[in-house]
């Protein structure tokens, strides 16, 4: 049971990291911003999705030494089972048979809750989705994970379908405690209204850049490493780790360079909907400067050998220090080019007006 929970948390964390940048970008475009409440809900949904599968299918048998399980196709047999168990134990709330049914209901309660709060779907959809997912799980168990095992190592039970579907329906009803304005995926009426650029928002944008550069670099490195291993194997006459790491750095940094030079903003800036105003530097200088003071440059410096790699630490320290100094987190780019950070939904300010503001 503990192992299933750990596996669900790890798998959910991986999904959350992979979906982090799209999640931030969509939140700023659909709801105008990102709240801790909604972030926690989506993170919880990611872990919960995997928990459904890990708690119902894991652990799998490690050998052929296991007992084949039967099936129960008689609806509401659990009622008779509870009566018989309670008659013996006298415990209505703590008897194992009662707890098993209750846990099957509770396992699917978050599904109905998340469908209404995050997806804006009602009780009918919650019931149908709960029935469908429970049906897939029970069929997977019945078929021995679709033929991977010669017989079912867990019981197919129609009562589980009833309990799981009931849990999803109950979760949809419980979700009514959440205020209507915090439910659903519909675009907020004020989503296009400019918001202040705060330290937290800038930190979120920086985190998007760091996560993005790291994920792209890691994905490319793994791909190159696998390609070398498949094509050369032990015949490789060079350090495959170094080549894969270099390829990952080049591709990830190249992507960030391209985006900054074309748009003047990093991917984190775009995700959090911020932009720099016109400053004293021409565009052909300001845009490369934006890259040289961001996550892409940090990745380049971190890939260097010591002592040059210490420059990455210096850049990170300067970024954090300036984030504290200026509430809007304009950083080195804003300091050098005398540029401010604003919401990209705000009107464009002319260079003359912006320069005048900076000299006040």
Q: Would the pLDDT of 208 be above 90?
A: yes
**% of residues, the chain, pLDDT over 70:** 92
Q: Please compute the mean of the pLDDT values over residues 237-264 and round it to a whole number.
A: 90
pLDDT-derived band at 357 (thresholds 50, 70, 90) equals: very low
Write the Ramachandran bin of 233: left for phi over 0, alpha for psi from -120 to 50, otherwise beta: left
Closest CA to 56 of 157, 147, 124, 126: 157
The answer to whether 216 touches 254, Cβ cutoff 8 Å, is no
Burial class, 73, CB count within 10 angstroms (exposed 0-12 / middle 13-18 / buried 19+) = exposed
pLDDT of residue 2: 58
pLDDT of residue 79: 84
**Interval 285-327: pLDDT, tens:** 999 999 999 999 999 999 888 888 899 999 999 988 888 888 8
**Interval 324-351: pLDDT, tens:** 888 878 888 888 888 899 999 986 444 4
Closest CA to 265 of 224, 212, 187, 193: 212
pLDDT of residue 17: 92
Whole-model pTM?
Answer: 0.82
**Interval 12-35: pLDDT, tens:** 889 989 999 999 999 999 888 888
CB atoms < 10 A from the CB of 222, how many? 12
**Interval 191-204: pLDDT, tens:** 899 999 999 999 99
Whole-number average pLDDT of the chain: 86
Residues 6+ apart with CB under 8 A from 116: 122, 123, 126, 171, 172, 175, 176, 178, 183
Q: Would the pLDDT of 268 be above 80?
A: yes
More confident residue, 117 or 326: 117
Distance CA 282, CA 164 (A): 62
Q: Would the pLDDT of 356 be above 60?
A: no
pLDDT-derived band at 166 (thresholds 50, 70, 90) equals: very high
């Amino acid at each position: 049971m503990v192992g299933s929970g750990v596996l669900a948390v790890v798998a959910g964390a991986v999904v959350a990291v992979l979906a982090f940048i799209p999640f931030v970008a969509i939140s700023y475009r659909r709801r105008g911003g990102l709240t801790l409440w909604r972030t926690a809900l989506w993170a919880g949904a990611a872990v919960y999705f995997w928990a459904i599968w890990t708690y119902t299918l894991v652990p799998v048998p490690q050998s052929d030494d296991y007992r084949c399980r039967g099936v129960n196709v008689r609806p509401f047999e659990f009622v008779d089972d509870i009566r018989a168990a309670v008659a013996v134990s006298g415990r209505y709330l703590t008897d194992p048979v009662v707890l098993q049914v209750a846990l099957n209901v509770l396992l699917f309660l978050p599904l109905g809750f998340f469908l209404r709060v995050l997806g804006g779907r009602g009780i009918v959809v919650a019931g149908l989705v709960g029935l469908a997912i429970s049906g897939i799980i029970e069929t997977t168990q019945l078929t021995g994970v679709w033929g991977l095992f010669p017989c079912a190592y867990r019981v197919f039970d129609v009562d589980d379908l009833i309990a799981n579907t009931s849990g999803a329906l109950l979760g949809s009803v419980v979700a009514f405690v959440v205020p209507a304005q915090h439910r659903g995926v519909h675009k907020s009426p004020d989503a296009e209204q400019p918001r202040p650029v705060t330290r937290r928002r800038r930190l979120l944008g920086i985190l998007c850049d760091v996560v993005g550069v790291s994920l792209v670099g890691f994905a490319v490195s793994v791909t190159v490493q696998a390609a070398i291993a498949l094509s050369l194997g032990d015949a490789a006459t060079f350090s495959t780790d170094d080549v894969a790491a270099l390829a990952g750095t080049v591709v990830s940094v190249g992507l960030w360079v391209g985006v900054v030079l074309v748009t003047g903003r990093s991917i984190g800036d775009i995700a959090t909907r911020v932009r720099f105003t016109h400053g004293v530097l021409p565009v052909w200088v300001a845009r490369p400067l934006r890259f040289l003071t961001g996550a892409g440059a940090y990745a380049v410096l971190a890939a260097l050998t010591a002592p040059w790699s210490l420059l990455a630490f210096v850049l990170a320290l300067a970024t954090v220090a300036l984030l504290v100094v200026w509430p809007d987190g304009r950083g080195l780019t804003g300091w050098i080019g005398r540029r401010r950070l604003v919401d990209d939904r705000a009107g464009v300010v002319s260079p003359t007006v912006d320069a005048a503001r900076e000299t006040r």
